[in-house]
Amino acid sequence: MLIVMKSTSKETEVQQVMDLIVDMGLTPLPVPGSLRTAICITGNKGTVDEGRFLQLNGVKEVIRVTKPYKLVSREVKAEDTVIEIGDVKIGGDNPVQIIAGPCSVESEEQTVEVASALKEMGISLFRAGAFKPRTNPYDFQGFGKEGLTILSHVREKTGMKVVSEVIDTESVSIVYDHVDILQVGTRSMQNFSLLKKLSKLDKPIMLKRGMSASFEEWMNAAEYVMMGGNHQVILCERGLRTFSQHSRNTLDLSVVPLVKSVSHLPIIVDPSHGVGRRDSVRPMARASVACGAHALLIEAHTHPEKAYSDKAQTIDMEALKAIMRDVDVLGELEQIVV
C-alpha cells in the first residue's frame, strides 16, 4: 500500500503516518521523488485498513499496490528515476550513455591506455572487472584488490567514472571506495545477502539480469536493493540462456519496453555479453537504443585480440566509434519521431 501526502503536508504529518505504520507492526519505506511525498507500507500479510490513514492530516490518497515488488514499480513512483554520477545522467529523457572498457583490469598500462582512448572519444563511464566470477575455475579470476588500485588511478588520471563488479558480500567494502557504480553480475542476481548489503550503500548499483531469470525475479532482486534504502538501481539486460547455439546468450530486447512501462528505473543493455561475438555487437547496440535503452554497456579494448577475458566479444575503438555515431543518429531520429 502507498500513502500519498498532499503537496502542502508538513513534516510532522508525514511523521504521524510513519508512526502509525510502525504502531500497526508494519514497515514504512519513504519513496523519494520530486513530484510528491509518498510512503510505502511493507510487511503486511493481509489487507491494511486504509481508513486509518485517510483520516490523518496531510494524507491525499491511499493506493493499493498490485505488484509483488513495490518500490521498483511505477505504481509507487510514476516519474522516471534518473541516476546521477557526477554530471553524467542515466535514465529518463537524458541522452543515451555509453559505458565502455575491457572485460577485466589486466595491468595498469592496459587499463590507462584503454580508458584514455575512451575519454578522448568523449566517453565518461569506464567499466572493467577486478573481481571476475568465471564459470571455469582455471580461467583468469581477475586481479582483485590490485585491480581496484589500478581503477582508482584511472579515476584520478582521467576523471572518468568507474563501474566494477562485486561478487560477494566480502568484496563490497573493498570495491566501494574505488568505484562510482557497483555492478552485480548475472551469476549474483539472486545472491540475496549481497543485495541486502548493497541496499545500505549510497552509490548506484547496476543490477544485471540473471541469465535464467524471469522478469519478476529480476524486479524482485531490484526490490531487495531498494527496500534497504538504496534507490539508485540501474537494470541491465545482458542476454538469457536459451537453446540457441549461434550466440553466447539470447539478448532479450523485448524486456526493455516492458521494464519502462512497469518500472521507473533506468534500463540499460549489454550487447557484448548478450551476443558473445564481436561482429554482432554493433547491430544489437543499435537495436538496444532503438527499443529505448537508456545506456549501453560495451566491452572495448585497444587490443581486443590480447584481452584476458571475453576476447571474442570485445570490440576495438574504431568499432566503438561507429556505435557512437549510430547512437547519435538514433537520438536525432527519436526527437523527430516523438
Shortest CB 213 distance to ligand PEP, Å: 11
Q: Scan residues 172-201 and list those touching Mn ion (CB under 5 A).
A: none
Which one among 58, 91, 101, 129 touches ligand PEP, defined by CB under 6 A?
A: 129
**Helix (H/G/I), strand (E/B), else coil: 228:** coil
Q: Are strands 97-101 and 295-299 parallel, antiparallel or unpaired?
A: parallel
Which residue, judged by CB position, is nearest to Mn ion in the bound state? 103
Q: Count the neighbouring beta carbons within 10 Å of the beta carbon of residue 143.
A: 21
Q: Which one-letter amino acid corresponds to residue 115? A: A
Which one among 70, 77, 161, 208 touches ligand PEP, defined by CB under 6 A?
A: 208
> Which secondary-structure segment (H or E) carries 183?
strand 181-184
Partner whose binding site includes residue 186, from ligand PEP, Mn ion, none (CB under 5 to 8 Å by kind): ligand PEP
Which one among 48, 103, 227, 327 touches ligand PEP, defined by CB under 6 A?
A: 103
Structural contact between residues 147 and 309, judged by C-beta atoms closer than 8 angstroms? no
- CA 206 to CA 221: how far, in whole Å? 11
What cell does 154 get? 584511472
User: In the complex with ligand PEP, which residue's Cβ is closer, 59 or 315?
Assistant: 315
Structural contact between residues 263 and 73, judged by C-beta atoms closer than 8 angstroms? yes
User: In the complex with ligand PEP, which residue's Cβ is closer, 129 or 147?
Assistant: 129
Region binding ligand PEP by CB under 6 A among candidate stretches 30-38, 40-48, 180-188, 330-338: 180-188
Task: Tell me how far the alpha carbon of residue 276 is from its chain's centroid.
Answer: 20
Structural contact between residues 166 and 179, judged by C-beta atoms closer than 8 angstroms? no
264 binds ligand PEP (CB under 6 A): no
Which one among 73, 171, 186, 230 touches ligand PEP, defined by CB under 6 A?
A: 186
Query: How many chain residues interact with ligand PEP (CB under 6 A)?
Result: 8
Shortest CB 290 distance to ligand PEP, Å: 21
Q: Count the neighbouring beta carbons within 10 Å of the beta carbon of residue 117.
A: 17
Which one among 310, 314, 323, 327 touches Mn ion, defined by CB under 5 A?
A: 310
Q: What angle do CA 182, 185, 189 make, to 5 degrees?
A: 100
Which one among 185, 271, 276, 304 touches ligand PEP, defined by CB under 6 A?
A: 185
Q: Is 297 exposed, middle or buried (0-12, 13-18, 19+ CB in 10 A)?
A: buried
Structural contact between residues 230 and 207, judged by C-beta atoms closer than 8 angstroms? no
Partner whose binding site includes residue 185, from Mn ion, ligand PEP, none (CB under 5 to 8 Å by kind): ligand PEP
Which one among 98, 103, 148, 323 touches Mn ion, defined by CB under 5 A?
A: 103
Which one among 273, 278, 294, 301 touches ligand PEP, defined by CB under 6 A?
A: 273
Binding site for Mn ion (CB under 5 A): 103, 310
Binding site for ligand PEP (CB under 6 A): 103, 129, 185-187, 208, 238, 273
